[in-house]
Amino acid sequence: MHPEINSIINWWTLSFSIAGGLSLFLFGMMLMTNALKSIAGGQLNSVLGKMTQNRVTSLAAGAGITAIIQSSSITTVLIVGFVSAGLMEFSKTLGIILGANIGTTITAQIIAFKVTDAALFIVALGYLITAISKKKKIKDFGTIFLGLGLIFLGMNIMTQATMPLRNYEPFINIMRESTLPVYGILMGAVFTALVQSSSATTGVIIVLASQGLLSLENSLALIIGANIGTCVTAFIAAIGKPRAALQVATAHILFKTFAALVFVFLIPELANLVKSISSNDLGRQVANAHTIFNVSSAMVFIFFTKSIAKGIKKILPDKTYTSEEIPLLDEYYLEHPNLALDMVEKSINDMGQDLLEIANKSVEIAITGNADELKKLRDQDKLLDSGHEKILHYISQIQQLELRESELIRIRRQTDIANLFENAGDLYTTNIVEAAEHRLEKSFTVSNETKKMLTDLFHYANNTVSKAVLAYQYRNKNIASTVLESKGEFSKKHAKVHKHIYHRLSEADENRVSIIRFEVELLEVARRLHSLARRISRRTLRSIQSGYKN
């Protein structure tokens, strides 16, 4: 019968059917993941941030979120962002990584259930929902069904394509002779690296195992290889990205590789265990083995996360950056718009801190500083201007992504605040410096009484700027309100200094006009600084009252 079977198999049709089925599977995964991510939205960030108090909650957070969005890469981007922004210790992310490995096994469990016969119905249902509904969230649910249906349809196509191989002896003999686990591990790793999806590899293995084309032991070796392959591709993708991404990818590799080295010697025992759980269903056994591999390795490694984190930090220490660089504004984070906006937020907060450093020294330098001190103040402004420019450029990149209305509103608020911080910086380092340069050019000094009055006024103005920045950074309604309520008190102080300056206009002094010009310029800067502080606080209050993030 063998010659007849040989002639029946059309290798071109077989190859194209497997490739087409796999493409549908991957496309379905992409549709489903993107739709799930869209529905989850910015809540992913807050959930991860709140559930990382200890190892157990970190593990649960990683598993839960990855199971929901079916993408460990998205989870990885989020935790890299948290580490880079200083919002989470690297050691705490390792529990999330282990949890993400568990979350990815859900796809295999779904595939192993015999629901692929409903593939066309699910595709039709998904398309119908997306076509009829006008609401984006409902459309996203339709896309989830559509993606899931395409996954099942791809599985069906691969199943039908490989049916002739069940009676094709040369193929059967190759499978029988490939008993060494190392071959299966290598094949699983390479295939996963090529298709960039361990879920796809697992799906193909389940198809072949269900057809009787793979033994359980060979399937388990391929599963172990797939788990290695997925972290190798993640490591390659992390090269050239933020250092936290490389650290996370290295941890991923260590977990998977050590687990593979242990399980390669336990394949017979693992096979017996899954047979006892689901004795008559080879596809179900493969899915269960995949879950056991990831769950058991996570349960072991979760107790060594701190030690592993220290080791990785020694191998890959945190990168140091120059003052001109803003590492948070990396294209890596653009994969997740809400995270990218979090990076912008942290960068704006850093910009606010730079502004406060300039404010604390500006008035003293203006009244008594020398040329070198003025130059240093100008140089600080160049850094502030550079940061402002990079923030706006990054925001423009985010605007090119598909954004929700809440994210568009957040962008507008962030742009406004970044511009206000930059304007305040210019007042300190351009207007004040130019006034001080005029003082040096004319070689005059300010009287002690006027110096004290101007200094007190600037301290008050600087204090409101500082409060406005803090109110924005911490979304503090009370502090923002205090700034807005300071208008009357500041006006009194300003009027007092103004009256004092003009009262002295008649004094006999050859530099009297130049001195008045200098003092009036500082007076105007103080007024504009207080006005900017109130504008920042108003925007902060609107953001808080609207319930939006900064």
User: For position 434, what pLDDT does the model report?
Assistant: 83
Most confident of 220-229, 278-287, 316-325, 530-539: 530-539
Mean pLDDT of the region 485-490: 94
User: For position 550, what pLDDT does the model report?
Assistant: 59
For 286-317, the pLDDT digits (tens) are 889 999 999 999 999 998 988 999 999 999 88
Asked if residue 164 has pLDDT above 80, the reply is no
Contact 442, 358 (CB under 8 A): no
For 437-479, the pLDDT digits (tens) are 878 888 888 888 888 998 899 899 999 999 999 999 999 999 9
CA gap 378, 355 in Å, rounded: 12
Q: What is the DSSP letter of 71?
A: -
| Predicted confidence band of residue 206 (pLDDT cuts 50, 70, 90) | confident
In which residue are the tokens 């935790």 written?
Answer: 79
Asked if residue 413 has pLDDT above 70, the reply is yes
Q: Crossing angle, helix 11-40 and helix 198-210, to 10 degrees? A: 130
User: For position 472, what pLDDT does the model report?
Assistant: 93
Between 174 and 382, the more confident residue is: 382
Least Cα distance to 405 among 30, 32, 38 occurs for 38
Contact 298, 62 (CB under 8 A): no
| Predicted confidence band of residue 51 (pLDDT cuts 50, 70, 90) | low
Would you list the DSSP string of 289-322? HHHHHHHHHHHHHGGGHHHHHHHHHHHSPPPP--
Asked if residue 549 has pLDDT above 70, the reply is no
Structure tokens at 459: 């301290």
| Predicted confidence band of residue 273 (pLDDT cuts 50, 70, 90) | very high
Most confident of 24-28, 208-212, 487-491: 487-491
The region of weakest confidence among 316-320, 342-346, 517-521 is: 316-320
Phi, psi for 238 (deg, rounded to 5): -85, -15
Structure tokens at 434: 């130019």
User: For position 481, what pLDDT does the model report?
Assistant: 94
Structure tokens at 503: 């009262």
Mean pLDDT of the region 78-86: 78
| Predicted confidence band of residue 2 (pLDDT cuts 50, 70, 90) | very low
Letter for the amino acid at 187? M
CA gap 538, 550 in Å, rounded: 13
CA gap 266, 241 in Å, rounded: 36
The region of weakest confidence among 10-14, 177-181, 221-225, 469-473 is: 177-181
CB neighbourhood size of 177 (10 A): 9
Letter for the amino acid at 489? E
| Predicted confidence band of residue 3 (pLDDT cuts 50, 70, 90) | very low
Q: Any idea what the Cα angle at residue 104 is, between residues 100 and 107, rounded to 5°?
A: 160
Structure tokens at 21: 């089925």
Least Cα distance to 461 among 370, 391, 362 occurs for 362
| Predicted confidence band of residue 505 (pLDDT cuts 50, 70, 90) | low
| Predicted confidence band of residue 148 (pLDDT cuts 50, 70, 90) | confident
The region of weakest confidence among 27-31, 237-241, 469-473 is: 237-241
User: For position 81, what pLDDT does the model report?
Assistant: 79
For 92-145, the pLDDT digits (tens) are 889 888 998 898 888 788 777 766 678 889 899 999 999 998 888 888 889 988
Most confident of 80-84, 127-131, 237-241, 443-447: 127-131
Mean pLDDT of the region 393-401: 94
Least Cα distance to 224 among 291, 178, 290 occurs for 290
Mean pLDDT of the region 212-231: 87
Asked if residue 348 has pLDDT above 90, the reply is yes
User: For position 357, what pLDDT does the model report?
Assistant: 85
| Predicted confidence band of residue 1 (pLDDT cuts 50, 70, 90) | very low
CA gap 80, 318 in Å, rounded: 13
Q: Crossing angle, helix 198-210 and helix 216-238, to 10 degrees? A: 170
Mean pLDDT of the chain: 83
287 exposed, middle or buried (CB, 10 Å; 0-12, 13-18, 19+)?
buried
| Predicted confidence band of residue 4 (pLDDT cuts 50, 70, 90) | very low
Q: Crossing angle, helix 371-399 and helix 405-426, to 10 degrees? A: 170
| Predicted confidence band of residue 490 (pLDDT cuts 50, 70, 90) | very high
Mean pLDDT of the region 52-67: 82
Least Cα distance to 29 among 119, 116, 154 occurs for 154
Contact 457, 493 (CB under 8 A): yes
Q: What is the DSSP letter of 336?
A: S
User: For position 506, what pLDDT does the model report?
Assistant: 58
| HSE of 110, CA atoms in CB hemisphere, 13 A | 18
Mean pLDDT of the region 386-395: 93
Asked if residue 221 has pLDDT above 70, the reply is yes
Q: Is the dihedral of CA 309, 310, 314, 320 positive or negative?
A: positive
Q: Any idea what the Cα angle at residue 116 is, between residues 115 and 122, rounded to 5°?
A: 85
Taking CA atoms, 299 is separated from 123, 230, 302, in Å, by 37, 20, 6
Which domains are present in the chain? Answer: 2-315 (no CATH), 331-546 (1.20.58.220)
Mean pLDDT of the region 382-407: 89
| Alpha carbon 298 to its chain's center | 23
Contact 327, 319 (CB under 8 A): yes
CA gap 114, 111 in Å, rounded: 7
| Alpha carbon 100 to its chain's center | 15
In which residue are the tokens 């220290």 written?
Answer: 310
For 250-265, the pLDDT digits (tens) are 998 899 889 998 998 8
Between 247 and 65, the more confident residue is: 247
Contact 127, 146 (CB under 8 A): yes
CA gap 368, 530 in Å, rounded: 22
